[in-house]
Amino acid sequence: MPGTFAELVSVPASNVFPFPAGFTFSQAAALGTTFITAYRMLFTRGRMSPGEWVLVTGIGGGLGVSLFQLARPLAGKLYVTSSSSEKIERASAMGADGAVNYRDEDVGKAIRHVTGKRGVDLVVDSAAGDSLEPSLRALRRGGRLVNAGATAGPKVEVDMRRVFWNQLEIIGSTMGSDADVSDMLRMVAGSGIEPVIDRSYPLAEGVEALKRLDEPDHFGKVVLEVS
């Protein structure tokens, strides 16, 4: 049956992976969709290499935090954007090298400034909409932008002259393959990453958990616990 808001779930054995030793079931649950999607965005599609400078847009949600956590061990510099000063402060405490509040500043100009006009090698984004053009301006020549969502809107206006003159790549991405899941789990286990959990709820409060996802101050994953 579809859905996993249940005490018992049946899935094909090939879809089951062991989670990292020492993890609680809640931590393992938090490795689900977002960490798989983030791994594919950064490494399978984005071809991130050690030492590259990376911009994560929209820090705070499950995907943004997962992208941050997977990129941090390898990134030479790691930057974030948000409309929340509180989320920017949390990202800074987690090791962000710089942050831009996109309500107050132009992302492209701000990233150019903090990188000494260099720009970043890779932007990972799930918003699209009007935020895509400033993200492209944040890229260095030959940079890549990987997108896996359109929460800010599916329609995008891009100055293609910037794309072809600067040899930029705009790359689409989705969830992940079995290989992505396996590689992600090995990386998490080997690097000591622990997923950030915003709040946990018992299964009976599943509706409240969904409401929490809509609250603008949530940071990290929302987890349902099955006793």
pLDDT tens digits for range 64-117: 999 999 999 999 999 999 999 999 999 999 999 999 999 999 999 999 999 999
Please tell me the predicted confidence (pLDDT) of residue 97: 97
Task: Say if residue 138's pLDDT is above 80.
Answer: yes
Domains in the chain: ranges and CATH: 33-172 (3.40.50.720)
pTM of the predicted model over 0.85: yes
Residue with tokens 């030492």: 51
Q: Please say whether the beta carbons of 79 and 111 come within 8 A.
A: yes
CA gap 64, 219 in Å, rounded? 9
Going by pLDDT thresholds of 50, 70 and 90, the confidence category of residue 1 is low
Task: Say if residue 25's pLDDT is above 90.
Answer: yes
